Structure 1
């Protein structure tokens, strides 16, 4: 082997060790955030891969834009589209009319609920959220993640991020990026 090849292999190994250290630190931080958000006495923590299909979705309690308290566990027995978004996000803006149409045509009064969690810590203030909701004429609940803990717990790094949660409270799909009405309809129809 040439000295150049040995040098490249050595550099690749050092990069691999550095990446492994960063990943380990991030996973440890994620577990600590989950313990804070869920409480120290919980039996469930997300796996290292995040919330995978079949995992129980962590319960949370947030206040909506209208001041009502919502808990994810209150929707046990319903299929839930759990969406994370912000007003400044262009894909979120593109997705919201589809979500509202889906809610009006398929979800309202059915066994399906839409919860669009605003990542308030990432947004530009409550007045911007209120204006956004008014502009898009949104009628589904808008829980406000004022501390950013729930977005972190659900790993909503790229927004929009949505979870399809079944009637048992288990994750069936995670969608990173915008959805349209057809996607929502098909994913909900394909859940057990």
Structure 2
């Protein structure tokens, strides 16, 4: 699209031997033309659509994902509708402004390269979390939706991480605030994991809980899961000071709008990938709602007294995991 690499084979146009002047237009013919057109444009549309789908799968909810896809669809369809309704005027416009159209194509190429760099470097996770934060900034936080933030590496390097007070419901990792924070009890729950074992959060008082909310379709979640498994093994398989616990939100006939695939499919995903740390099944979505989860992955740190120490809406590296676990063990919030 930038014109840097040129290939006659890739630039060659192929046309179907159809005489449009001999066909009478009807819905069936229109459908056939539409299908052929969309199929032929797959190489052109594919990269942009793929980028949109990646952003949609990282959205805070299915509604936000559908909104992103809907906006993309409008941006793709509206120009063609305009061409269909105002063919003569628009063709004259395009002829007069061919250079502008050429630069539009190049701008699309630059945008795709930028998104590729963001994906490779992990910036896309922060960007989607930022968009999720904008979507939830206008809502008020309930007492069950804690609003503290666990520090990231970058924040720790600037004099320590931050945790925000209850008046700032949209706080994210690395935002500055006072270290004097009121204690926020973590919403209690009782759920069953993939092995049939029951987990009640209040039973883990006296231990620090690493509580991770995730989904099987979430790419950022998948990238941090090997580190969570390794941490689970290194810290004593939940038999010592730290409990590693994840929560999934599988669909069911009764709850078809939950965030993930069916419970059996979640269990199969865990088994196929060798993840043995406990994943509790929130089949009703009540625990996700109680914690105000709006992006994947989201990780909460629960201290020994059962209070929320902080949370992060982003992919965590092993170094960051170790850092926030140690800070919670020490009861140390950096101001």
Tell me how far apart the structure 1 counterparts of residues 234 and 192 of structure 2 sit (CA, whole Å).
25
Aligned to 1:151: 288
Q: Which consecutive unaligned segments of at least 5 residues does structure 2 have?
A: 1-136, 145-165, 172-180, 251-257
Cα pair distance change 1:174/1:111, threshold 3 Å = same
Is 2:230 the partner of 1:93? no
How far, CA to CA, are the matches of 1:49 and 1:62 in structure 2? 29
Deviation, 1:166, is 0.8
How many residue pairs are counted as aligned between the two chains? Answer: 157
Which 5+ residue runs of structure 1 have no aligned equivalent? Answer: 1-21, 35-46
Query: What is aligned with 2:185?
Result: 56
Higher relative contact order (CA 8 A, sep 6+): 1
2:300 pairs with one of 131, 139, 163: 163
Shift of 1:31: 4.5
Larger Rg: 2
Q: What is the SS of the residue equivalent to 1:190?
A: helix
Matched, 1:116 2:253: no
**Of residues 139, 152, 168 in structure 1, which corresponds to 2:276?**
139
C-alpha contact 2:263 2:281 (8 A) present in aligned 1: no
Q: Could you give the per-residue CA deviations for residues 90-146 of structure 1, whole angstroms, max 9, x where no partner exists?
A: 011101001001111124232100110012221111222112211221222111011
Q: Does 2:210 correspond to 1:73? A: no
CA apart distance, 1:49: 4.1
Q: Is the aligned partner of 1:179 residue 2:316?
A: yes
Moved more, 71-80 or 98-107: 98-107
TM-score normalised by the chain length of structure 2: 0.43
Task: Determine if contact 1:51/1:154 at 8 Å carries over to the other structure.
Answer: no
More strand by share: 1
CA RMSD of aligned residues (A): 2.7
